[in-house]
Amino acid sequence: MLILMRPDATPEQIDEVMARIRDLGFQGHAMPGAQRIAIGVTGNQGAIDPAHFARCAGVVEAVAVSKPFKQVSREWRPDDTIIAMNAAAGTARFGGGSFAVIAGPCAVENREQLLGTADAVKGGGARVLRGGAYKPRTSPYAFQGMKAEGLTLLAEARERTGLPVVTEVLDTQHVDLVAEHADMLQIGARNMQNFALLEAVGKQPRPVMLKRGLSATIQEFLMAAEYIVKSGNPNVLLCERGIRTFETMTRNTLDLGSIPLIKRLTHLPIIIDPSHGTGDWRSVPALARAAIAVGADGLMVEVHPDPAKALSDGPQSLTPPKFAEMMEGLRALAGVLGVSL
Amino acid sequence: MLILMRPDATPEQIDEVMARIRDLGFQGHAMPGAQRIAIGVTGNQGAIDPAHFARCAGVVEAVAVSKPFKQVSREWRPDDTIIAMNAAAGTARFGGGSFAVIAGPCAVENREQLLGTADAVKGGGARVLRGGAYKPRTSPYAFQGMKAEGLTLLAEARERTGLPVVTEVLDTQHVDLVAEHADMLQIGARNMQNFALLEAVGKQPRPVMLKRGLSATIQEFLMAAEYIVKSGNPNVLLCERGIRTFETMTRNTLDLGSIPLIKRLTHLPIIIDPSHGTGDWRSVPALARAAIAVGADGLMVEVHPDPAKALSDGPQSLTPPKFAEMMEGLRALAGVLGVSL
Amino acid sequence: MLILMRPDATPEQIDEVMARIRDLGFQGHAMPGAQRIAIGVTGNQGAIDPAHFARCAGVVEAVAVSKPFKQVSREWRPDDTIIAMNAAAGTARFGGGSFAVIAGPCAVENREQLLGTADAVKGGGARVLRGGAYKPRTSPYAFQGMKAEGLTLLAEARERTGLPVVTEVLDTQHVDLVAEHADMLQIGARNMQNFALLEAVGKQPRPVMLKRGLSATIQEFLMAAEYIVKSGNPNVLLCERGIRTFETMTRNTLDLGSIPLIKRLTHLPIIIDPSHGTGDWRSVPALARAAIAVGADGLMVEVHPDPAKALSDGPQSLTPPKFAEMMEGLRALAGVLGVSL
Amino acid sequence: MLILMRPDATPEQIDEVMARIRDLGFQGHAMPGAQRIAIGVTGNQGAIDPAHFARCAGVVEAVAVSKPFKQVSREWRPDDTIIAMNAAAGTARFGGGSFAVIAGPCAVENREQLLGTADAVKGGGARVLRGGAYKPRTSPYAFQGMKAEGLTLLAEARERTGLPVVTEVLDTQHVDLVAEHADMLQIGARNMQNFALLEAVGKQPRPVMLKRGLSATIQEFLMAAEYIVKSGNPNVLLCERGIRTFETMTRNTLDLGSIPLIKRLTHLPIIIDPSHGTGDWRSVPALARAAIAVGADGLMVEVHPDPAKALSDGPQSLTPPKFAEMMEGLRALAGVLGVSL
């Protein structure tokens, strides 16, 4: 149930509606928009009779929300959520017409590799540094990341470059530690429906980047975001990174066709990961162009100073010069598209 | 096996190589490129010893072609195949840096609808008119197209607008009739592995647009094109129209991530069909922008004067004004991307 | 629309209902069942008002058929369609509690190979001989079958063994020729939505085996059968042969979970092809047991005297002794399951 | 690397090989089989030179293990792992020719529902009781399970019926609590690649049931099991519960075709979950028969006394009488198949 207030509704009228919602045993959530306030109702199992609110002063309409996702839906909040990360090197802004690029190595491997890459991606125009400290690997015998030591290196890279840092968290028991070192927490594709972890990152204050699961429908993807928002954290940055299909010549199938639909369904910003989406650095610049053209709010790409020696995901990593070249191309497009890059 | 000749190889040297190929019981195919001639060898079951050709005058190298597709591969022919259709309204050109748009109704429904749409898409900047006369429908109870009468109307629309016409052929027994009326023959997604039909369109002179099957791998897609080329017709225009995945909120999953890979693998041009790819007209302009940005050679979009009354595919059809608006956006991007639209 | 007549409805009452259907501009199809007659109505675009028939004598009920498939649905015909093929070696019967096995080589390769295999599968208990004369191959450079010569050899094998023969038809132009030599026509997975071919085999009298397409939904599969039945041929034998999924360790994903559902939706018999379904002869006997246990009406398996030398599909072919061993196991299960094998 | 010892190898010879492995900086794992001992080597990044062991007394052969899974592979351990759970009501045994049935409600809803169902499934022949206390739900607004209270009820049901109990664990922080109350821990499909959780259940002593992820390949499924085994817990019971494909008429696509392959690849037992696999109770008995026929080691099915009122998964739950009827059918098949049920 979503209650739309008149643009000129008074604070007293809003309070009255909130009180009535509480009386019915539900929770009200006031959502200020550009033109008017909407009040979302949660806690109900089934439908609520709109008649409960029809005669309240200041109410335009009480509408049932048909989709299973509520707080993340456009009906709930018509205006774009903008995720802005302030940092020494400037503000990274996702959503509302701003397009930002996250770049860095797949995994933090050592101090030299990380700091060198951080300098390079900053030089190329990245707004956020990425780097994996805890690595989810299909094989228990593969490199599992530098863990806590990697977090320390990421913090050092932030000090040095002024770029905010995003890194993945794999376990509820690490959420506090990661949130202490990073500016944004990443939930990986394989944990998109790790509901305990979604709730845990929903209860801490850092923005969360949520990657779409390999076989997650758009609806499941938004429901996973709903878990985080419902737990108290409204700053969820969605990330489309390719889904699993029958095609094996590309690492995943990047679902760019879903972006306009997702933008209609939700107010949350969404970025594209063409590195995992294609699995081949040669395809990354073309898909980065497609991402900005299709209306996404940003990119995440993997960059490595020496891809051939990378401990993971070398074949999909750009070198620093190739990254800089890609950014050139995006800036030219951003001008034509009216996007702030 | 592919035999690369020196740039300065003489006609006599080429003839000698061709004769040696015939002596071995195989067929040679001379492929003139921008800088040199390559000679492809077919008819061999297994590998051929390169030593057979190493000592021939004018030969640079004899290389084994590892991929199962031969004549459609970049190794076979490094330069782009350009499909150019000359018509009264100008030339439609796909490939080699040219981007052309095909537009029109899903199905030819009646004279007024077709001619009105043809005028509108020409006005918006389309280079080719599409329209289905024979319609492959999931249900035998659905509208199956105007058939031969539809072909006559398409020919009339070409007379009127000067636009070349593309339409689908469903059966080997209709190939001659369709080729008589249309300028390009379309093989639909469901017939992508109808090998008898592929051979039939390979034996007539019109260019062929081959749509990727719903669950066709990239390799199978290129092998289907190989059937047409091997049968004698080198002018195959590939069309990515979305694949079938677990996602149901979009009609298909448009596989834009495969485009840079396909451009590396084959010299054939490839266009995108965002109408079938998304199933929703509201998503079409964004995906059209993504298509030109990712490096495709053209678009095919459905346009209908009154989508609500369309006999098929109304929800994914643009109105003429929306089509014109989309074309505006593409022209702005084409300038930045260095593409000729 | 389906009109259910009373068990004691008279022929005159039935005629009256048929006449009323014709008066409305539609076609009526009388479907005699075990207990009563049902009359199907086709030719209507939208819903028909049941009131047209409510007052007719002998009518129990007029019900709208909600599914898009009509004549193949259980609502249309509650009793199993039984496909019985009479031949010198006895009757092969699919459906209605009978389970029959079709076996033979993937492709007819030569006289000795075919006749030897035919003798062996007959000895093992197969009821129908299979063998491909026209072979649909992904590559135009692969063996395409012995074509008309293969048909002649199949006819010879039938003379010799008394087994009826099934073989694939690829093109509308070959339907008459294949129907002349074979007892059942096969539509392959890649042609499941070759609608011209479906109509062509629907207009000839031999039973048709229709294989499910690689990415065909159950609904599309039944709609393809509907094309054949609507064209006049009620004897369609469905064949589940595995669908295409992300899994690559098995050749296809055999969809046994759909069989009970398909048996509820349609009266047509359905068989399983574990050879294509798994792609590995070592898995075939276990899946054959699962097929009879899950309620399928038969099997189709590939058998080759020397799989290592087979021109196609060797890895999934059973040797004659392995085939005989598999049949042993099935006979033991048939007893417990109450199935006639 | 796997080192096969001679059947008559002495303990001293084995110790010597183990010492040499340690000297090289790796770990040795002695695996006693029916006829001989094999020693697995882990800790190596790349290949180890077999020459290191060729001259050791008692060694037959040192072979490279090509598959990425090691300890779960048949090469590592040729004999079936048998998971036996001893309980008051008798032993539940999975693997080695024994087939056991796990049954119970999707979620523990209240005391009466759980105890009533427990009595019923015991009466029908189930060997293990299932019931969800922590429920992973797509929506944060759906019933999330009775949590710790549900665990207490499960323990009570075990006391009452003598059946061992299996229940799902969702978070590393709950592993100890769940292991205290349950006899077997379940890892759900959505957590199959929650590597932190896999390691946590690998470090506690209860057997673990690992469900295949919705889009997990067979190789990823076995690698997830490898995580558990590598962490110290050899008792992993695999569970195939259907994968996600394009088909929507069944809840999932049950991948029975993979079972013979999985039995060849791994020594771990595998059971089938036809309730989630089909999503429809009417299909469950037929798929249960297929499961025993195809060679699986057991079943897990959902049973609810009043499916229409179930808080989750009602449509796929059997009633107690239907469950008893299904078990009858399985017993008849078990006799013919030589399986101990």
What does the mean pLDDT of chain B come to?
92
Task: Tell me how far apart the alpha carbons of residues D217 and C247 are, in angstroms, rounded to a whole number.
Answer: 6
Other Cβ atoms less than 10 A from the Cβ of B203: the count is 12
Which residue of B194, B215, B231 is in closest CB contact with C215?
B215
Give the rounded percent of residues in chain C with a pLDDT score beyond 90.
74
Write out pLDDT tens, residues B45-86: 556 777 778 778 888 777 665 577 889 999 889 999 999 999
Instruction: Quote the pLDDT of residue A336.
Output: 96
Instruction: Quote the pLDDT of residue C84.
Output: 97
Tokens representing residue D215 in the block: 């889009």
The CA-atom distances, in angstroms, between B66 and each of B71, D2, D201 are 12, 34, 46
Phi, psi for C301 (deg, rounded to 5):
-130, 150
Closest-CA residue of A relative to B243 is A245
Write out pLDDT tens, residues A257-306: 999 999 999 999 999 999 999 999 999 999 999 999 999 999 999 999 99
Interface test with C, best of D212, D287, D299 (most C CBs within 10 A): D287
Q: Are B102 and B128 in contact (CB under 8 A)?
A: yes
How big is the C-D interface in CB pairs under 8 Å? 139
Contacts of C115 (CB under 8 A, 6+ apart): C153, C156, C157, C160
Phi, psi for D92 (deg, rounded to 5):
-95, 130
Instruction: Quote the pLDDT of residue D232.
Output: 97
What does the mean pLDDT of chain D come to?
92
| DSSP letter string, B28-69 | EEEEE-SS-EEEEEES-SS---THHHHTSTTEEEEE---SS-
Q: Are C240 and C254 in contact (CB under 8 A)?
A: yes
Closest-CA residue of A relative to D143 is A45
Contact criterion met (CB < 8 Å) for B264 and A274: no
Instruction: Quote the pLDDT of residue D45.
Output: 58
Q: Which residues of C touch B194 (CB under 8 A)?
A: 170, 190-191, 194, 197
Q: Is D277 on the interface with C (CB under 8 A)?
A: yes
- Least Cα distance to C339 among C292, C300, C283 occurs for C292
Q: How confident is the model at residue C40 (pLDDT cuts 50, 70, 90)?
A: confident
Contact criterion met (CB < 8 Å) for D335 and C332: no
pLDDT at B44 over 70: no
Q: Lowest-confidence range among A189-193, B159-163, D67-71?
A: D67-71
Q: Enumerate the H helices of chain D as residue ranges.
A: 11-23, 51-54, 111-124, 148-161, 175-181, 195-202, 218-230, 259-265, 274-278, 284-294, 320-337
Q: Is B230 on the interface with C (CB under 8 A)?
A: yes
Q: Which residue has the tokens 């199809």?
A: C29
Q: Which residues of A touch B334 (CB under 8 A)?
A: none
Q: Which residues of C touch D259 (CB under 8 A)?
A: 286
The mean pLDDT of C127-137, rounded to a whole number, is 96
Which residue of D218, D250, D257 is in closest CB contact with C242?
D257
Is D63 in a helix, a strand, or coil?
strand
The mean pLDDT of B29-44, rounded to a whole number, is 74
Q: Which residues of A touch C215 (CB under 8 A)?
A: 246
Contact criterion met (CB < 8 Å) for B140 and C171: no
**All chains having 3 or more CB pairs closer than 8 angstroms to chain D:** A, B, C
Task: Tell me how far apart the alpha carbons of residues A223 and A73 are, in angstroms, rounded to a whole number.
Answer: 10
Instruction: Quote the pLDDT of residue B142.
Output: 85
What does the mean pLDDT of chain A come to?
92
CA trace torsion D10, D11, D13, D18 (10° rounding): 150
Chain C: give the shortest CA distance to residue D292, in Å.
8
The mean pLDDT of D308-319, rounded to a whole number, is 88
Instruction: Quote the pLDDT of residue B64.
Output: 64
Write out pLDDT tens, residues B216-274: 999 999 999 999 999 999 999 999 999 999 999 999 999 999 999 999 999 999 999 99
Instruction: Quote the pLDDT of residue A44.
Output: 67
Residue type, A153: L
Contacts of A29 (CB under 8 A, 6+ apart): A39, A40, A41, A42, A71
Q: How confident is the model at residue D304 (pLDDT cuts 50, 70, 90)?
A: very high
Task: Tell me how far apart the alpha carbons of residues B66 and B75 are, in angstroms, rounded to a whole number.
Answer: 10
Task: Tell me how far apart the alpha carbons of residues C336 and C339 are, in angstroms, rounded to a whole number.
Answer: 8
Instruction: Quote the DSSP letter at residue A221.
Output: H
Q: Are C265 and C74 in contact (CB under 8 A)?
A: yes
Q: How confident is the model at residue A47 (pLDDT cuts 50, 70, 90)?
A: low
Q: Of the spans B141-155, B301-315, D34-48, which averages the highest pLDDT?
A: B141-155
Instruction: Quote the pLDDT of residue B99.
Output: 98
Q: How confident is the model at residue D5 (pLDDT cuts 50, 70, 90)?
A: confident
Task: Tell me how far apart the alpha carbons of residues C242 and D88 are, in angstroms, rounded to a whole number.
Answer: 43
Instruction: Quote the pLDDT of residue D311.
Output: 83
Closest-CA residue of D relative to A144 is D195
The CA-atom distances, in angstroms, between D241 and each of B144, C112, D221, D320 are 41, 45, 12, 21
Instruction: Quote the pLDDT of residue D141.
Output: 84
- Least Cα distance to C159 among C213, C115, C95, C106 occurs for C115
Task: Tell me how far apart the alpha carbons of residues A291 and A275 are, in angstroms, rounded to a whole number.
Answer: 12
Q: Are A204 and A176 in contact (CB under 8 A)?
A: yes
Q: Which residues of A touch B253 (CB under 8 A)?
A: 243, 245, 253, 255, 257-258
Q: Which residues of C touch D252 (CB under 8 A)?
A: 257
Angle at CA D95, nearest 5°, toward C329 and D273? 80
Which residue of D219, D254, D293 is in closest CB contact with C257?
D254
Contacts of C229 (CB under 8 A, 6+ apart): C71, C72, C202, C236
The CA-atom distances, in angstroms, between B202 and each of A323, B136, B233, B234, C197 are 43, 21, 5, 8, 19
Instruction: Quote the pLDDT of residue B150.
Output: 97
Chain A: give the shortest CA distance to residue D144, in Å.
10
pLDDT at A339 over 70: yes
- Least Cα distance to B230 among B202, B261, B209 occurs for B202
The mean pLDDT of A116-137, rounded to a whole number, is 97
pLDDT at D47 over 70: no
Q: How confident is the model at residue A7 (pLDDT cuts 50, 70, 90)?
A: confident
Q: Is D258 on the interface with C (CB under 8 A)?
A: yes
Q: Are B86 and B61 in contact (CB under 8 A)?
A: no
Q: How confident is the model at residue C47 (pLDDT cuts 50, 70, 90)?
A: low
Q: Which residues of A touch B283 (CB under 8 A)?
A: 257, 260-261
Task: Tell me how far apart the alpha carbons of residues A62 and A4 are, in angstroms, rounded to a whole number.
Answer: 6
Q: Is D66 on the interface with A (CB under 8 A)?
A: no
Give the rounded percent of residues in chain C with a pLDDT score beyond 70.
95
Closest-CA residue of A relative to D243 is A215
Is C234 in a helix, a strand, or coil?
coil
Interface test with B, best of C1, C48, C138, C217 (most B CBs within 10 A): C138
Contact criterion met (CB < 8 Å) for B282 and A260: yes
**ipTM of predicted assembly, 2 dp:** 0.87
Q: Determine whether B338 is exposed, middle or buried from the number of CB atoms within 10 Å of its CB (0-12, 13-18, 19+).
A: exposed
Q: Are C272 and C257 in contact (CB under 8 A)?
A: no
Radius of gyration in angstroms for the set of CA atoms belonging to chain B, rounded to a whole number = 21
Contacts of B11 (CB under 8 A, 6+ apart): none
pLDDT at D295 over 60: yes
Contact criterion met (CB < 8 Å) for B245 and D248: no
Q: Is D190 on the interface with B (CB under 8 A)?
A: no
- Chain-centre distance for alpha carbon C139: 27
- What's this model's pTM, rounded to 2 decimal places? 0.88
The mean pLDDT of C50-76, rounded to a whole number, is 79
pLDDT at C45 over 60: no
Instruction: Quote the pLDDT of residue D44.
Output: 67
| DSSP letter string, D112-153 | HHHHHHHHHHHHHT-SEEE-BSS---SSTTS----THHHHHH
pLDDT at C3 over 90: no
Q: Is D222 on the interface with C (CB under 8 A)?
A: no
Q: Lowest-confidence range among A190-194, B49-53, B324-328, D154-158?
A: B49-53
Chain B: give the shortest CA distance to residue C341, in Å.
35
Q: Is C248 on the interface with A (CB under 8 A)?
A: yes
How many helices (H) does chain C have, and how many strands (E)?
11, 14
Which residue of C68, C194, C226 is in closest CB contact with B194?
C194
pLDDT at C111 over 60: yes
Instruction: Quote the pLDDT of residue C336.
Output: 96
Task: Tell me how far apart the alpha carbons of residues B246 and A51 are, in angstroms, rounded to a whole number.
Answer: 39
- Least Cα distance to B210 among B193, B190, B195, B188 occurs for B188
pLDDT at C298 over 90: yes
pLDDT at D66 over 60: no
Q: Is B218 on the interface with C (CB under 8 A)?
A: no
- Least Cα distance to C209 among C143, C270, C265 occurs for C270
How big is the A-B interface in CB pairs under 8 Å? 139
